[in-house]
Structures are given as C-alpha cells and as structure tokens.
Structure 1
C-alpha cells in the first residue's frame, strides 16, 4: 500500500458518487490517485453543484468527456 502524503485525499474516476464509481464497482474497474485535499473537496463541491444544476438524479444516465 502506498503511504498517503500529508494533506492529501484519494480521488477516483469514475466519480465515487456514480453507479460506476469506486464506491459501487468491483476492484480494478476504477482509477484512484492521491491529490491535494483542498482540490479534492473543491472538485466534489463542483460535482455536487453540477448534479443539482442539471437535476441529475439517482440512476440518471450521463456522459463525461475527459479533455486535456
């Protein structure tokens, strides 16, 4: 196990809040990485705001486009 760096949290994709996220999926079907805790919380806040703004409800289907 990789030791957790100070002031970091585990970030995951697909999002843990989705049915395909690390909270509900089998091992190996998601990606995790330690990131700065403040950045992780900010990302979670933005994600929650997006769910609310676009009224994404439990079991709604949506796509995420990953860009660099």
Structure 2
C-alpha cells in the first residue's frame, strides 16, 4: 500500500500511481492500494510513524465494510 500526499491542484489518480510504480519495480513489489493523505506522520526526529499509517489503513478499510 502506498500513502501519497498530493500537491495542491493535482489530479493524480490511484490507477496512474499504480501504473507508474509497476513500471519501476519488480512484479512482486507492485502496490495494490493507494491512500491519499494530507500529510505523512513523522516523529520529532523526522522518522515516519508507520504505526500511525497502519492505523489509518485499518480505519479506511473498516469504513468500507
């Protein structure tokens, strides 16, 4: 799964991102889902907070049920 922050005015679609990544990586590394977020959560040290992204992914998958 990829988390993407769009620039203002961007009209990027999920399919375009999946297609772009598929051309750049090996078949087993292809992404299957894309989530558009306002910002990537980071710690004070600047590291990406993966657990926050996991919570976001779980919340969005549960809301689809």
Name the TM-score, length of structure 2 as normaliser. Answer: 0.35
Identify the structure with bigger relative contact order (alpha carbons < 8 Å, sequence gap 6+).
Answer: 2
Greater fraction strand? 1
**TM-score, normalising length: structure 1:** 0.34
Which is helix-richer, 1 or 2?
A: 2
